Structure 1
């Protein structure tokens, strides 16, 4: 077997790699790697949970990726070699796998979800959970280190034959959990048995794991779901990328809403930890609009609370949360785990922070274990949908009609051409501070938790930051007028053009 480069499998708080070979990529998330990772996860858990010598129980689930079956089998072999029991949840969602550690009747010691979220079909990966939540980056490093310490004899010990895995119907239990959440949130005047009986709701699952939401949740709650699409799991993702941030994906669900005259459209990513919605007019409620909607729902019962978001949210969103809703907007870092950890930190300091949400659609509610759960986010929207009809006949889109967004939004990704890209990128950010001081009307934002955000007048701004994982500078710009955008781009071109280790052509 080829040498495994364990450090290259680290991706934030996940493990990710190439699981199907192509002309451009060799496999690095192999069955041998999965075998060692399964074994090492159990050994790491024994120390972390102080359960050395005790028989532990783990659950494994997967999304629709083509490589899921062989990776699951290898993981399970490693888990069993380490002395733990393992159960197969089959096709599942990432949030459901976490819930397997807390739901009554399950409550396993830990769980693994086999997924690479929205990445291409040749990629795959693992997400790890205990009942306290997802693992941190340092935990993943420790597991990979343990895996790398296993010798040749260990890999040769992986059984060649298949093993039988006991199957569990976790997704049905998880669907029941979501239905209970919806029913408990309804006003007394709403029919709790069939609260969605008056609504047509269409779902786009992107051929990932989210199809269960139609048959096991919406239909049971009375909704008309005719027009839902791409519910069948297919790891080739033949219709569009399973990603609510993808423009073709969003256009697909908008088209479904309009063609079926639906009251609501729902779109999930592959493993259902992210979601977005479309209202009855076909309006996309994603990114800043999705945060505004979630904040509206949360602040009703948590007046004055803090909403934690990532770093690229708009000026208009801050005004909406603070001036319209009376909350506090805390703009933090990119990365769903970053915003979740920051909300938990604030809570530990006595500051109410019931929602951590990223513009990508990762939304974690304090009341739901601070778990980023697309189905739970949609459940909160469905509760509001049903209650609004009973209270005032308002529609979901009406709740965010006062949100003001910039007319022009741009994102650029600029590669750094040096192995020392972190130091090089940091030097650029340091130099930018001095550059900004020379430009009248430009000011650094008062709090920069990630990169540098520069205010360029009343509403216009840009943010330059390092990518979380790649040798890339990411530039986000928002402006109300084209001439304002052109001025920002002119100055940014002047600044970045000095750096010879950037793969840089003038921005347009």
Structure 2
């Protein structure tokens, strides 16, 4: 019997091609996706979707998988708009602006042998395990077990090609006006991913009028084999080239995008990383200036500076579990204006509550270019504490180890929103949470000083790894 449990994850489809999935599986997933949407219609939870919009990244396997998925959708009587090459946030733009369900073919920052699908309902509403992905998996498995060819419809619903890149770029420029900022030199490392496709149009002058930005491109050639480095800026090793280029060119800052360009990492004019927590706080301040008193979402491992700054600017901070499905759900429930998390995902109410690294980068450019200080000084306003970054430890029994750590710190303030969080009177805190897919515990530590953070980090790691 078919088993897609190793491919259909909590938030998306992700696996190696062709070992774990292939075009036949993609076709079955397309059928199952269309059937889910039809079920939504019958249940009265959505209007009648007649069309699905699809985009794909630059991986060698992406066009074939997307074409097979489209065939499955069309076999169920639904037409398809093929947006072709795009970033994940371009697909969210398409789903939101056209009010259509969508599917993005990408494995984000994973190595070349991987591919995947991120699916959403109309309005870029995410589909996760508990909101339809498990049902899609079960339906696809049943179809694969039958081993029958797809039914042939006559006439077959149409497949229309539509280039949405310039519309996407114009929409983002309408949200953040960069025309009046001081001139900035920006090194952008696209990592051979989709940033090399979107940045020249959004921030450059390839289609729209020029902005006061000098873009120094690094690895803009689309290449799903990632010949220069992995398109995963969360790993410091993948920022080395960007840091060197910023210093070499005397740039004002550097931006690094992941493979599908939905996340953006920042380094300052010295080549030093600017934490995603600082970017979250900075963008929150800008959004609260436009929408006073609004709710801003932050996940529980962002810096304590984030909720402090949100409150200082009249906003209402709300902590969320780690993971985009939790943040998007909390944003929709509270009508939050903005949300950010440690992994450099940034979510915007005026972008259908979806995540877009490009829009966060534009907010940063507008803020930096609207004053005269270098980024290192400007960002220091938003960095009040010292954090460890995420540290993984392999453990045999996650629950038992969590219980052991909980026992050690039973006299401190604890909570269990997502794993175990322990807070101390001096403002230091730890969060230890289990991986959903691997035998790992993930540790994040923050302290008021570097010495305090290091001491607490080492103390907890000794407990976890002994």
Give the TM-score normalised by structure 2: 0.87
| 2:241 maps to 1:273 | no
The residue that corresponds to 1:100 in the other structure is 94
- Partner Cα separation in structure 1 for residue 378 and residue 76 of structure 2: 52
- Partner Cα separation in structure 1 for residue 398 and residue 268 of structure 2: 40
Q: In the TM superposition, what are the counterparts of 1:264-303 in structure 2 within 5 Å?
A: 264-303=253-292
2:35 counterpart (23, 43, 50) = 43
Change (3 A) 1:155 1:116: farther
Deviations 1:222-264 (A, max 9, x none): 3443521111110011112212312123232222222222233
1:100·1:170 contact (CA, 8 Å) conserved in 2?
yes
- Partner Cα separation in structure 1 for residue 368 and residue 389 of structure 2: 32
Q: Between 459-468 and 298-307, report the one with greater CA deviation.
A: 298-307
Q: Between 72-81 and 470-479, report the one with greater CA deviation.
A: 470-479
Change (3 A) 1:251 1:459: farther
The residue that corresponds to 2:183 in the other structure is 198
1:467 counterpart (412, 418, 435) = 435
Query: How much has 1:304 moved relative to structure 2?
Result: 4.3
The residue that corresponds to 2:226 in the other structure is 237
- Partner Cα separation in structure 2 for residue 358 and residue 427 of structure 1: 28
Deviations 1:43-70 (A, max 9, x none): 1111213499978222211111122122
The residue that corresponds to 1:420 in the other structure is none
- Partner Cα separation in structure 1 for residue 457 and residue 377 of structure 2: 33
- Partner Cα separation in structure 2 for residue 484 and residue 385 of structure 1: 29
- Partner Cα separation in structure 2 for residue 48 and residue 89 of structure 1: 24
- Determine helix, strand or coil for the equivalent of 2:195: coil
| 2:333 maps to 1:335 | no
| 2:392 maps to 1:413 | yes
- Partner Cα separation in structure 1 for residue 300 and residue 288 of structure 2: 21
1:320·1:402 contact (CA, 8 Å) conserved in 2?
no
| 2:437 maps to 1:454 | no
| 2:386 maps to 1:403 | no
Deviations 1:21-53 (A, max 9, x none): xxxxxx112111111001111111112134999
2:26·2:65 contact (CA, 8 Å) conserved in 1?
yes
1:197·1:222 contact (CA, 8 Å) conserved in 2?
no
Change (3 A) 1:164 1:207: farther
2:104·2:117 contact (CA, 8 Å) conserved in 1?
yes
Gaps of 5+ in 1: 21-26, 187-191, 348-352, 418-423, 497-503
Query: How much has 1:77 moved relative to structure 2?
Result: 1.8
- Determine helix, strand or coil for the equivalent of 2:363: helix
Query: How much has 1:137 moved relative to structure 2?
Result: 2.0
2:188·2:215 contact (CA, 8 Å) conserved in 1?
no
Q: In the TM superposition, what are the counterparts of 1:152-301 in structure 2 within 5 Å?
A: 152-157=145-150, 166-183=160-177, 192=179, 195=180, 198-220=183-205, 221-301=210-290
1:60·1:88 contact (CA, 8 Å) conserved in 2?
yes
- Partner Cα separation in structure 1 for residue 235 and residue 186 of structure 2: 21
Give the TM-score normalised by structure 1: 0.80
Query: How much has 1:142 moved relative to structure 2?
Result: 0.8
2:462 counterpart (493, 501, 508) = 493
2:360 counterpart (344, 353, 377) = 377
The residue that corresponds to 1:23 in the other structure is none
The residue that corresponds to 2:78 in the other structure is 84
Query: How much has 1:361 moved relative to structure 2?
Result: 0.7
Larger radius of gyration: 1
2:231·2:257 contact (CA, 8 Å) conserved in 1?
yes
The residue that corresponds to 1:435 in the other structure is 408
Change (3 A) 1:197 1:456: closer
- Partner Cα separation in structure 2 for residue 311 and residue 158 of structure 1: 47
Query: How much has 1:328 moved relative to structure 2?
Result: 4.1
Change (3 A) 1:156 1:295: same
- Determine helix, strand or coil for the equivalent of 2:230: coil
Gaps of 5+ in 2: none
| 2:137 maps to 1:144 | yes
Query: How much has 1:72 moved relative to structure 2?
Result: 1.4
- Partner Cα separation in structure 2 for residue 314 and residue 408 of structure 1: 7
- Determine helix, strand or coil for the equivalent of 2:222: coil
